[in-house]
Chains A and B, each alone.
Chain A
Amino acid sequence: MKAMIEIQDVVFKYKSQEEEIKALKNVTIEVNEGEFVVIIGHNGSGKSTLAKHINALLIPSQGDVSVRGMNTKDESKTWDIRQTAGMVFQNPDNQIVATIVEEDVAFGPENLGVESKEIVRRVEEALKIVDMTEYREKAPHLLSGGQKQRIAIAGVIAMRPDCIIFDEPTAMLDPSGRKEVISTIEKLNKEENITIIHITHFMEEAVNADRVIVMEAGQIVLEGSPREVFSQVEELKALGLDVPQVTDLAHELIREGINIPNDILTVDEMVMELCQLK
């Protein structure tokens, strides 16, 4: 498998009130083409700082970040990097620039100098992928949070990135908006083969990822498949993170001497395990 993103021993330092803060401490991550990686960690753990390194919004103080082999320190590559690795942020209202949905989606490719016929085609395709075609002529401010966020995603897709970094895209949404956005992200990965890096503090959003990375104080503290990571209930709780309720329950039952696996993630698995025991 080819590497999409290589983060090699990255340190990021900045100054706050004369004090030097190390937001990232020797972080190394490799993300392969087509992979779906979720990064979790609480506020201040360094996860957003890391995300901003991937599309050259921040440049490492030490170490290297490269996207498809392009080093983010090479300024001549900045625009190619940002076209390869798109980014979606937390607040949909801050990402929408136009007064009509389709114009908003066209903003990115227009700036890339894409020919107008091709723009029309891309906008149409992007809106179809996020399932917002019927809203193409609507005003974004009349849409729900989940819909606005899907428009923001369409705007990124229209730039044809190979990889999209989502920085807490669901933090400001209600449960149904969250579901819409999550299923859109999963679809981009499965059907469009876009490499996904999804940053969140909602653990249940990590259940379907290929890999979960847990960050704390600028370092990676846990890494593995969702099952491997979530089975570490005690460690996650000590870090102030949630685990899915059923995983927590499995853990509690094991402590009471019940013989069930410690890596249960879904209600269906739990029901199956319990019914087999009885």
Chain B
Amino acid sequence: MSIKIENLTYIYNPKSPFETKALDNVNIEIESGEFIGLIGHTGSGKSTLTQHLNGLIKPTSGRIIINGLDITNSSVKLVEVRKKVGLVFQYPEHQLFEETVYKDIAFGPLNQGLKEEEVEQRIKEAMEAVKLSYEDLKDRSPFELSGGQRRRVAIAGVLAMKPEVLILDEPTAGLDPRSRDEILEEIKMLHERYKITIILVSHSMEDIAKLVDRIIVMHRGHVRLMGEAREIFKQSEVLESIGLGIPQITHLLNQLKQKGVVLRDDIFTVEEAKEEILKWMRGEKNA
């Protein structure tokens, strides 16, 4: 599913003392099946942007075209849009409400009017995708599960609606490193297996860099940078000037450069840095 955002502007509290331009003439094109990382500071407009994509917010001006359909057009049924574009909010586990894991995940598909058998099948698939055991957990209360498990139940609830675009707003916030790595791995698998378009919103450069095809950096309602991870990390000065951290490894290579050691400047993993430093140590020429 492709997404085209044209001249999107959104103003909060218009004509009041609190008037704020949350999005200012944003233009983005996302191809079907792409994996996008959306990065920005709190208040940069990234959550406002994602809420536009399934029609939760109507733009002040501009258009959003999903698979050729302009969803800002008032004749478009938003129910149809929301079937296709799944949005996992921050701390989605706060929205769990049912008595059992099964019922909670079933809520979306049942509202779509699916038959019980189809719903059950979808719940099994969704739970499998986030590595939750259907047999062990389906009858448990979501509230007695661990934090990481609760978050997975919430994600499964969105997956069970079989969205073609999946937007995840900070899916690893507040999790410990192990659960964070597991959930990111599951998201990667989803992308590979179902070829759905994914937009991952995050503060963490390290997490995003390893996963996505392309990064979009938002700042004060504008798209500040857009491109492949390697291209983005070369712009470490821009990133730091807008208060975004760069991976420690990228910082290290920048520092070395200042000392006159010129190595590749588009590196962000420990593995790549090791190779690059070994080459340098062993006296090979750099490209």
Interface residues of A (CB under 8 A from B): 16-17, 42-44, 90, 144-145, 168, 171-172, 174-177, 201, 240-242, 244-246, 248-249, 252-253, 256, 258, 267-268, 270-271, 274-275, 277-278
Q: Which of B212-251 contact A (CB under 8 A)?
A: 243-245, 247-249, 251
| Chain A contacts for B259, CB-based, 8 A | 271, 275
Q: Which of A44, A168, A171, A175 counts the most chain B CB atoms within 10 A?
A: A175
Q: B112: CB under 8 A from chain A?
A: no
Closest Cβ of chain B to A255, distance in Å, is 9
Closest Cβ of chain A to B101, distance in Å, is 15
- B175 to A, closest residue via Cβ: A43
Which of the residues B43, B177, B203, B277 comes within 8 Å of A201, measured between beta carbons? B177
| Chain A contacts for B248, CB-based, 8 A | 244-246, 267
Task: Find out whether the CB atom of B249 lies under 8 angstroms from the CB atom of A245.
Answer: yes
Closest Cβ of chain B to A193, distance in Å, is 30
Closest Cβ of chain A to B200, distance in Å, is 15
Which of the residues B42, B206, B273 comes within 8 Å of A174, measured between beta carbons? B42
Task: Find out whether the CB atom of B255 lies under 8 angstroms from the CB atom of A174.
Answer: no
| Chain B contacts for A42, CB-based, 8 A | 176-179
Task: Find out whether the CB atom of A253 lies under 8 angstroms from the CB atom of B277.
Answer: yes
Q: Which of B245-282 contact A (CB under 8 A)?
A: 245, 247-249, 251-252, 255-256, 259, 261, 270-271, 273-274, 277-278, 280-281
Closest Cβ of chain B to A183, distance in Å, is 15
Task: Find out whether the CB atom of B278 lies under 8 angstroms from the CB atom of A258.
Answer: yes
Task: Find out whether the CB atom of A175 lies under 8 angstroms from the CB atom of B203.
Answer: yes
Task: Find out whether the CB atom of A145 lies under 8 angstroms from the CB atom of B255.
Answer: no
Interface residues of B (CB under 8 A from A): 41-43, 144, 146-148, 173-179, 181, 203, 206, 243-245, 247-249, 251-252, 255-256, 259, 261, 270-271, 273-274, 277-278, 280-281
CA distance A268 to B256 in the complex (A): 9
CA distance A94 to B245 in the complex (A): 28
Which of the residues B177, B244, B256, B277 comes within 8 Å of A175, measured between beta carbons? B244
- A168 to B, closest residue via Cβ: B174
| Chain B contacts for A16, CB-based, 8 A | 144
- Beyond A201-B176, A248-B270, 19 additional contacts (C-beta under 8 Å) are A16-B144, A17-B144, A42-B179, A43-B179, A144-B43, A168-B174, A176-B41, A176-B42, A240-B178, A241-B177, A241-B178, A245-B249, A245-B270, A256-B278, A258-B278, A267-B251, A267-B252, A271-B256, A275-B261
Task: Find out whether the CB atom of B147 lies under 8 angstroms from the CB atom of A43.
Answer: yes
Given contacts A171-B174, A201-B177, contact A278 B252 (CB under 8 A): no
Q: Which of B176, B248, B251, B273 counts the most chain A CB atoms within 10 A?
A: B176
Which of the residues A43, A252, A253, A270 comes within 8 Å of B176, measured between beta carbons? A43
CA distance A17 to B140 in the complex (A): 11
CA distance A144 to B41 in the complex (A): 11
Closest Cβ of chain B to A269, distance in Å, is 10
CA distance A16 to B143 in the complex (A): 13
| Chain B contacts for A244, CB-based, 8 A | 248
Given contacts A256-B274, A256-B278, A258-B281, contact A249 B174 (CB under 8 A): no
Q: Which of A145, A174, A175, A268 counts the most chain B CB atoms within 10 A?
A: A174
CA distance A175 to B252 in the complex (A): 19
Task: Find out whether the CB atom of B256 lies under 8 angstroms from the CB atom of A274.
Answer: yes
Which of the residues B148, B173, B244, B270 comes within 8 Å of A43, measured between beta carbons? B148
CA distance A245 to B210 in the complex (A): 14
Given contacts A246-B249, A267-B248, A278-B280, contact A253 B177 (CB under 8 A): no
Task: Find out whether the CB atom of B249 lies under 8 angstroms from the CB atom of A144.
Answer: no
Task: Find out whether the CB atom of B245 lies under 8 angstroms from the CB atom of A175.
Answer: yes
Which of the residues A44, A145, A253, A268 comes within 8 Å of B278, measured between beta carbons? A253
Task: Find out whether the CB atom of A240 lies under 8 angstroms from the CB atom of B281.
Answer: no
| Chain B contacts for A274, CB-based, 8 A | 256, 261, 277
Given contacts A174-B41, A175-B244, contact A246 B252 (CB under 8 A): yes
Which of the residues A144, A253, A268 comes within 8 Å of B255, measured between beta carbons? A268
| Chain B contacts for A248, CB-based, 8 A | 270
Task: Find out whether the CB atom of A172 lies under 8 angstroms from the CB atom of B174.
Answer: yes
| Chain B contacts for A240, CB-based, 8 A | 176-178, 181
| Chain A contacts for B243, CB-based, 8 A | 175-176
| Chain A contacts for B277, CB-based, 8 A | 249, 253, 258, 274
Task: Find out whether the CB atom of B270 lies under 8 angstroms from the CB atom of A249.
Answer: yes
Task: Find out whether the CB atom of A249 lies under 8 angstroms from the CB atom of B177.
Answer: no
Closest Cβ of chain A to B194, distance in Å, is 27
CA distance A205 to B179 in the complex (A): 19
| Chain A contacts for B280, CB-based, 8 A | 278
Pairs across A and B, CB under 8 Å, 14 listed = A17-B144, A42-B178, A43-B176, A144-B43, A171-B173, A172-B173, A172-B174, A240-B177, A244-B248, A249-B270, A249-B274, A252-B274, A253-B278, A274-B261
Task: Find out whether the CB atom of B281 lies under 8 angstroms from the CB atom of A249.
Answer: no
Task: Find out whether the CB atom of B174 lies under 8 angstroms from the CB atom of A90.
Answer: yes
| Chain A contacts for B148, CB-based, 8 A | 43
Closest Cβ of chain A to B59, distance in Å, is 25
Task: Find out whether the CB atom of A177 lies under 8 angstroms from the CB atom of B42.
Answer: yes
| Chain B contacts for A270, CB-based, 8 A | 252
